[in-house]
Each structure stands twice: as structure tokens, then as C-alpha cells.
Amino acid sequence: MTGIEIKSLDQLTKPADDDFVKQYIDARKKEQRLYSDEEVRQLPNVPPGHPLYKEWQVRKRSAKKLVDYLRKRGGALKVLEVGCGNGWLAAAMAYVAKAEVLGIDINEVELNQAKRVFSHFKNLRFTCTTIEEEILQQRSFDVIVFVASIQYFASITLVIKAAQLLLTAHGEIHILDTHFYQVKDVEQAKMRTNEYYAGLGYPKMSKYYYHHSLADLSDFNCSILYSPSFIQRKILQNPCPFYWIKIKDKW
């Protein structure tokens, strides 16, 4: 699963050329990852014949686990999704009682679609910004989520520290639907990404996709809520290949 949600930060890494968003949208279209308003409204549900059906089944399960987690946590949660894309997950989280959800992204094409499709939610807003912009510095959040987006930040250390500045006293950061590699496997993963985007016809896209390892999180107080171990994937028949990581405390 690759190329799901493209996001960035200014210094952490903002695309250097104006052609980035056009390339990204064109690449998503070729991957069949652009959806009509009605399709977005139905996500993560897609028909069995859809070419990305299996992928969406994985994302559907991880989204349900996250939403259930937020519901059990309870209270009047303020939630930030970094890299919300077309907004389907932000909308799912907005169903949690008393939650106020803000989705941010730099991809205005999908962000405008999110605003259009989910305009009826009173507790859900979308803003075209990055996590470090001043517009966010005046706010704090109980939960900040990176779902299929952390791989588009060059430095995971810097982006997590930027997110921690926005947390309430007992706030949490959650990272889902992103590969974390063993250090020894990072170079091969980079080669696969290069080959993938070259084969897709958008080789420049690979420079915006970063390959993080669990070791990159060693400076943080992390809990692994789900690990894609052999037992989980083979014996328990859980096909999710992604870690679910919670970072709780400020440094």
C-alpha cells in the first residue's frame, strides 16, 4: 500500500516545486485513488469489485479500532487529523459523541472535496495549513492522529515534536496505516518506492516519500497498540501490515 495520502510541513518538508500537487493528483488518479463525492461519502466502504477493495478493508478495520478507542476514552475530545485528504476518517471520528474534529492538509483539491462532502457536520472543520502554522499554535488537542501520512515528513522527530506542542496535558498522538521498517530494511524499501513511482510514470514523487524505522521513535514515550507480527498476521488472520503507535507524553 503506497501513495495514499500526501502531506507535508514547511521546514519539515514542504514540496519544493509548484508542480507537486498536480503530480500528486495525477498519480492518485492513475492509482484509482480519486473518488467522486458520493464515493467519498461512503468510504471506507467500497464495492467488492473495486481494485483497491482489499486495501480499504484494512483501512476500514484500523479506522474502526481508532474510533472505538476514542469513544472509550470519552469526554469532550478535541481531535486533529494531520493529512486528512478527502476527509473520510475525520468524518468518522466526528461521529464520536462530543468530539470536535479539525482536519488539515496542504492538498486543496481533496480538502475542498472534504469541505463539500462533509459540510453538514457541525463538529468538523477542514483547514488548508501545516501543523507548524500560527493558526494552530493558539489551540490544543487531546488527540492528534497521523493516518497514512507520517511517511510524507522527512523528519519524524521534528513532526512529532511539533505535534507535542499542540497537545493538552494528557494528550496523545496516534500513528496508523504507515509502514515502519527495521533499520536494515530501509534501503530496500526506498528502492521499491523508486521503482513504484518510476513505473507509475511519476518518478519525482519518490522524493516526497520517507521510510521511517521504529528506531526513529526511540526518543519518545511510545506504546505499540498493534504490532503486525507473524502471530497477528498468520495465526490470528489479521492482515493489517501496519503498526498502531501511541505517543503520550511531552518531552
For CA atoms 92, 94, 98, 101, the dihedral sign is positive
The answer to whether the beta carbons of residues 93 and 81 sit under 8 Å apart is yes
Specify which residues 128 forms β-bridges with. Answer: 105
Query: Which one, of 64, 87, 82, lies nearest residue 144 by Cα?
Result: 82
* pLDDT tens, position by position, 53-83: 999 999 999 999 999 999 999 889 999 999 9
Tens of pLDDT, residue by residue over 114-158, are 999 999 999 999 999 989 887 788 889 999 999 999 998 999 999
User: Cα(41)–Cα(117) distance, rounded to whole angstroms?
Assistant: 7
Residue type, 153: F
* pLDDT tens digits, one per residue of 11-25: 343 444 456 677 788
Query: Is 81 or 107 the better-scoring residue by pLDDT?
Result: 81
Between residues 178 and 237, which one has the greater pLDDT? 178
Helix runs in 17-155, H state only? 20-30, 37-42, 53-73, 88-94, 108-117, 134-137
How far the first Cα of the chain sits from its last, in Å, is: 32
Q: How far apart are CA 141 and CA 168, in angstroms?
A: 6
The pTM for the full model equals: 0.89
**Beta bridge partner(s), residue 126:** 103
Chain centroid to CA 218: 21
pLDDT at 67: 97
Distance CA 223, CA 243 (A): 10
Helix 20-30, helix 186-200: angle, nearest 10 = 80
Residues 98 and 19: their CA atoms lie apart, in Å, by 40
Query: Domain spanning 10-247: which CATH class is it, in words?
Result: alpha beta
Reported as a single tens digit per residue, the pLDDT across 175-217 is: 999 999 999 999 999 999 999 999 999 998 998 899 999 999 9
Boundaries of every domain in the chain: 10-247
